[in-house]
């Protein structure tokens, strides 16, 4: 658990008191690939190797499952946290010219921050023939919750969990950024040869389109969240062959895309965009 104690002044119905709260640690991590700076991402310390592995995979920089990249720690801060790594990849396995695609800080709240443009997705949709039982979903989130040790202390981190189609837990990762937690999960699955078994991924918080992109890159056909999806997330999930389930709490959920792969009595109903917009 990566937390620290901070003093604050609590205000409660006109009364003030000094408190000591536990906060989640946020630190920068600079990543270079083959000697070229790639990104500076804000993250929770721990599982840096999984984070880097998953990030390069989901960003379509390095997708090989047969060759392990060599990740070297090149810097630590005064507290001993890793703040810089260098990744060595055989040049012929680097899938695109990444120089300049991320040239500023990637904030912990945003997986696309630091990119110069939103890239087109030329990957084929996931061909999914599996059927998910909705009754399994609450237990998945409960298992993830039980592993959120840093969140239980600080209330300041997100979590992602990977599961088989029958709800067997494969891994849970925490991070101050939702996208980092997903990348750490993908990196772990790659490193432990479990990616083929992973069919469901849960995330805390909302689902934005970059989370959908990471699930698609990993070939995971079911994406679930406790909160809301964005419009672009739903559209990208529908196009990408992903069943997106949101508001998964209190034994309820809403299926927003590809509902035919979710076992409900309403499988014949249509999901998708309603041509009515509210602009405030």
pLDDT in tens, the chain (280 residues): 688 999 998 988 888 999 898 888 899 999 999 999 999 999 999 999 999 999 999 988 999 998 999 999 999 999 999 999 999 999 999 987 665 455 445 555 555 555 544 455 667 899 999 999 999 999 999 999 999 888 778 888 899 999 999 999 999 999 998 899 999 999 999 999 999 999 999 999 889 999 999 999 999 999 999 999 999 999 999 999 999 999 999 999 999 999 999 997 655 555 666 555 555 4
The pLDDT of residue 62 is 93
Helix %, strand %, coil % for the chain, to 5?
25, 30, 45
Residue ranges covered by each domain of the chain: 27-106, 134-261
Domain made up of 27-106: CATH architecture? Roll (3.10)
Whether 248 sits among the annotated catalytic residues: the reply is no
DSSP assigned state of 258: -
Active-site residue identified among 110, 113, 200, 248: 110
Task: Note the pLDDT of residue 174.
Answer: 94
CATH number of 134-261: 3.40.140.10
Contact of 33 with 61, CB cutoff 8 Å: yes
Confidence (pTM): 0.86
Cα 243 from chain centroid (whole Å): 16
pLDDT at 104: 45
């Amino acid at each position: 658990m990566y937390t620290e104690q901070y003093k604050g002044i609590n205000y409660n119905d006109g009364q003030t008191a000094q408190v000591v709260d536990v906060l989640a640690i946020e630190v920068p991590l600079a990543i270079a690939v083959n000697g070229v700076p790639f990104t500076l991402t804000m993250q929770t310390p721990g599982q840096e190797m999984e984070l880097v592995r998953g990030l390069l995979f989901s960003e379509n920089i390095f997708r090989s499952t047969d060759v392990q990249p060599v990740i070297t720690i090149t810097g630590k801060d005064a507290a001993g946290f890793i703040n810089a790594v260098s990744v060595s990849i055989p040049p012929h396995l680097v899938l695109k010219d990444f120089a300049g695609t991320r040239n500023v800080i990637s904030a912990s709240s945003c997986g696309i921050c630091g990119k110069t443009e939103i890239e087109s997705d030329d990957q084929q949709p996931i061909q999914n023939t599996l059927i998910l039982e909705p009754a399994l979903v609450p237990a998945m989130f409960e298992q993830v919750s039980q592993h959120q040790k840093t969140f239980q202390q600080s209330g300041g981190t997100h979590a992602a969990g990977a599961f088989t189609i029958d709800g067997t837990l494969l891994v849970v990762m925490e991070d101050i950024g939702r996208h980092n937690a997903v990348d750490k999960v993908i990196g772990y699955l790659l490193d432990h040869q479990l990616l083929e078994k992973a069919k469901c991924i849960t995330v805390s918080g909302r689902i934005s389109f970059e989370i959908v992109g990471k699930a698609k890159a990993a070939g995971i056909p079911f994406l679930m969240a406790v909160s809301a999806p964005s419009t672009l997330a739903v559209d990208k999930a529908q196009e990408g062959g992903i069943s997106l389930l949101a508001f998964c709490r209190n034994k309820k959920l809403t299926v927003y895309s590809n509902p035919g792969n979710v076992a409900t009595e309403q499988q014949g109903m249509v999901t998708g965009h309603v041509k009515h917009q509210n602009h405030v």
